[in-house]
Amino acid sequence: MTISAAIQKKLLRLGIRNTLDLLLHLPLRYEDETHLFPIGDAPHGQTVQVEGVIVHNEVVLRPRRQLVCQIKDNSGMVTMRLLNFYASQIKTYAAGNRVRLLGEIRNGFFGMEMVHPKCRIVHEGEALSEAMTPVYPTTAGLTQKILGKLIRQSLHDAQAQQLLTDTLPESMIEQYGLIGFQQSLMCLHHPPPEVSIETLQARTHPAWQRIKFDELLAQQLSMRMHYRQRRSRSAPALAPKHRLTQHFLDRLPFALTAAQRKACTEIGRDLAAPFPMQRLLQGDVGSGKTIVAALAALQAIENGFQAAIMAPTEILAEQHYRKLLTWFEPLQIRVAWLSGSQKKAHKRAMLDEMASGAAQLIVGTHAIFQEQVTFHRLGLAVIDEQHRFGVQQRLALRLKGAQLDQVPHQLMMSATPIPRTLSMSYFADLDVSVIDELPPGRSPIVTKLIAGNRRDEIVARIQHVCQEGKQVYWVCPLIEKSETLQLQTAMDTYETLCAIFSELTVGLVHGRLSATEKNDTMARFKQGEIQLLVATTVIEVGVDVPSASLMVIENAERMGLSQLHQLRGRVGRGSEASICILMFQQPLSEVARKRLKIIFEHTDGFEIARQDLQLRGPGEFLGARQSGIPMLRFADQEQDGDLIAAAQTAADALLDDYPALAQQHIARWLGDKTEYLRV
């Protein structure tokens, strides 16, 4: 089939580069031109096709210039109104001509009318369409007619070329109750008249189910292949020895929750295996992921290997360092600290310890995987708040620890919960552990929404809370466009609050402070020396000060849901009843109003994430993670959860028993998009 260069250019705009792309360009919806309704009996409120003779035609000027034609059959009369029309159409639609109209009939300005129906001249007794008419997504200058014709032609071409042979074995087609691939495409591009148009429109028809299944299967196949490739590499087998870990647990002032224990067991099992673990530990803010990471590190250390824990910000890395120091020093474990802003000599000493193996645990920021860093024997790398790191950074850390033919185990932690269906799709190349309960004794956080002009009430509350010996965070507005402006706002707020609360000690942290200054302020806040801490969103992740029980967030309407959830998670960490006040400026945009409603009504991170996904769609939701992963075109993350689960099982079966078909399937659906940046 030859296609002109001009048309090819337009096809490219639709992402169509070859015959297969063209065949997978599926209809948005269908029009039913296989039936004719009598004008008088045609149902209202749905698209119908009617036919009649034009009895009158006239250009009227009111309410605006338009062409109005009366069309009549034996059963009744309907008015066609064309608001935009060519002069030539006045003649085409002259009285006496017979027309076929497709559109919705409603009771309008001129009685029963159809506004801008699809209209064409026919002769009496002209045959009806034999198939439903597909309507394709298209682009300027490419008509439905041309596009439809190209697709129909290639459907027959392709048959000859064997492009559409099935990539699923017969047994699997049967097992999952599917229909053939070629049959599906035939049906979707050229549905026979007996097909229910509703199931086609709703995409529940078996032909659609098969296409969606195939799309999801391709996604699962490529993920599972990465998963298997990783398992074919080797890693140190770090069997649990229960020496250090038991010692550690015995000294802990509390018991692990059931969910923490389960996660530990899963991780412990992975570490003992001779291939690299790639596990994602998901747990809501405050669910206690750090201890789980510490136990994993101990398992590596008791096997004579090093462990590294990396955090995305200096504040968080420093906090981890201090905490792990108090946990590990009594066990005679040497903990090293590495950050970008460290003094040269100190850094040198740390690097030497890492290289010699003297340092058993290394805590730090992304400085950990910079060039001059070498490990003696890295067995485990933990990445906290993994979604904050870019794909490149995670890859760098993995390569860093690789020695000879062994790669270290990797544990990623995230407090950004991912809804289940999304996680099945996008984390199918990882093993996932979930901590789904909070430690006991936490009192729930009460969230309040307060308009920005009611600052006085908030001031009074802060006074009250601090008098009771508790502490307060004041989070300054996020100003995305300008860091300088954000800094300025933070300093202004700090000064204002210092003046108001002259009897309190007020502190300030923001991104421009040196690491030492930041850590110093955080330490003073933690010790209770500072009562009111003014902060930018640098405190967003991980910061743990259990005695802080009130948080005020200014201009909450500017922040995203996961950011608000993370920030709010800084309070409610102790047994005190905690409050989070969200201040907002009016007027609120529609989306901002929805976001504030969600964060106000829910505290469960998974539920917030689910609603966030609905609000934003998977592309934006996944952010950096999804770079390189093609989004789904046909299947729907929420609605097709059952198909996702089926595709996951099918992917493993296909890889095991029909590897050649698996390859063929991936080539068909992903083509050159298979080179994912997966780490």
Which residues make up the interface to ligand ADP (CB under 6 A)?
254, 256-257, 260, 283, 285-291, 415, 439, 542, 544, 546, 573
Tell me which of ligand ADP, Mg ion, none is bound by residue 324, counting a contact when its beta carbon lies within the kind-specific cut-off of 5 to 8 angstroms: none
Nearest-approach distance from CB 448 to ligand ADP, in angstroms: 23
Between 80 and 413, whose beta carbon lies closer to Mg ion? 413
Which position's Cβ is nearest ligand ADP? Answer: 288
| Residue where the block lists tokens 């020695």 | 403
Q: Looking only at Cα atoms, what is the longest distance across the chain?
A: 100
Q: Is 477 in the site for Mg ion (CB under 5 A)?
A: no
Closest CA to 272 of 409, 90, 170: 409
Closest CA to 26 of 160, 168, 155: 155
Tokens of 592: 């901002």
Assess contact for 95 and 55: CB atoms under 8 A. Answer: yes
Between 54 and 383, whose beta carbon lies closer to Mg ion? 383
The count of residues interacting with Mg ion (CB under 5 A) is 1
- Candidate ranges 117-125, 403-411, 539-547, 637-645; the one touching Mg ion (CB under 5 A): 539-547
Q: Is 288 in the site for Mg ion (CB under 5 A)?
A: no
Nearest-approach distance from CB 604 to Mg ion, in angstroms: 17
* 3-class SS letters over 214-241: HHHHHHHHHHHHHHHHHHCCECCCCCCC
Nearest-approach distance from CB 293 to ligand ADP, in angstroms: 8
Tell me which of ligand ADP, Mg ion, none is bound by residue 400, counting a contact when its beta carbon lies within the kind-specific cut-off of 5 to 8 angstroms: none
Tell me which of ligand ADP, Mg ion, none is bound by residue 286, counting a contact when its beta carbon lies within the kind-specific cut-off of 5 to 8 angstroms: ligand ADP
Between 436 and 557, whose beta carbon lies closer to ligand ADP? 436
Nearest-approach distance from CB 294 to Mg ion, in angstroms: 11
Closest CA to 291 of 270, 309, 273: 309
Q: Do strands 361-364 and 532-535 pair parallel, antiparallel, or not at all (unpaired)? A: unpaired
Q: Is 605 in the site for Mg ion (CB under 5 A)?
A: no
Nearest-approach distance from CB 563 to ligand ADP, in angstroms: 15
Q: Is 103 in the site for Mg ion (CB under 5 A)?
A: no
| Residue where the block lists tokens 């148009």 | 197
- Candidate ranges 91-99, 126-134, 216-224, 536-544; the one touching Mg ion (CB under 5 A): 536-544
Tell me which of Mg ion, ligand ADP, none is bound by residue 288, counting a contact when its beta carbon lies within the kind-specific cut-off of 5 to 8 angstroms: ligand ADP
Strand partners, 30: 134
Q: Could you say which of 134, 379, 542, 572 contacts Mg ion (CB under 5 A)?
A: 542
Could you give the count of Cα atoms lying within 13 Å of 26 in the half-sphere of its Cβ? 19
Between 312 and 542, whose beta carbon lies closer to Mg ion? 542
Nearest-approach distance from CB 258 to ligand ADP, in angstroms: 9
Between 287 and 578, whose beta carbon lies closer to ligand ADP? 287
Assess contact for 417 and 606: CB atoms under 8 A. Answer: yes
Q: How far apart are CA 161 and CA 151, in angstroms?
A: 15
Closest CA to 580 of 571, 591, 589: 571
Q: Is 240 in the site for Mg ion (CB under 5 A)?
A: no
Between 117 and 542, whose beta carbon lies closer to ligand ADP? 542
Nearest-approach distance from CB 440 to ligand ADP, in angstroms: 7
- Candidate ranges 307-315, 425-433, 542-550, 579-587; the one touching Mg ion (CB under 5 A): 542-550
Between 132 and 609, whose beta carbon lies closer to ligand ADP? 609
Between 220 and 313, whose beta carbon lies closer to Mg ion? 313
CA distances 108 to 50, 80, 104, 112, 572, Å, are: 18, 11, 11, 6, 59
In degrees and rounded to multiples of 5, residue 104 shows phi and psi of: -105, 135
Between 364 and 542, whose beta carbon lies closer to Mg ion? 542
Q: What is the DSSP string of 458-506?
A: HHHHHHHHHHTT-EEEEEPPP-SS-HHHHHHHHHHHHHHHHHHTTTS-E
CB atoms within 10 A of CB 479: 17
Between 148 and 605, whose beta carbon lies closer to ligand ADP? 605
Q: How far apart are CA 531 and CA 529, in angstroms?
A: 6
CA distances 330 to 294, 334, 362, Å, are: 14, 10, 17
Between 147 and 294, whose beta carbon lies closer to Mg ion? 294
Assess contact for 592 and 459: CB atoms under 8 A. Answer: no
Q: How far apart are CA 568 and CA 560, in angstroms?
A: 12
Q: Do strands 548-553 and 578-584 pair parallel, antiparallel, or not at all (unpaired)? A: parallel
Between 188 and 281, whose beta carbon lies closer to ligand ADP? 281
Q: What sign does the CA torsion over 130, 134, 139, 140 have?
A: positive
Tell me which of ligand ADP, Mg ion, none is bound by residue 154, counting a contact when its beta carbon lies within the kind-specific cut-off of 5 to 8 angstroms: none
In degrees and rounded to multiples of 5, residue 368 shows phi and psi of: -60, -30
Q: Do strands 445-451 and 578-584 pair parallel, antiparallel, or not at all (unpaired)? A: parallel
- Candidate ranges 400-408, 463-471, 535-543, 552-560; the one touching Mg ion (CB under 5 A): 535-543
Strand partners, 383: 310, 412
Nearest-approach distance from CB 412 to ligand ADP, in angstroms: 13
Nearest-approach distance from CB 340 to ligand ADP, in angstroms: 22
Tell me which of ligand ADP, Mg ion, none is bound by residue 570, counting a contact when its beta carbon lies within the kind-specific cut-off of 5 to 8 angstroms: none
- Sites of contact with Mg ion (CB under 5 A): 542
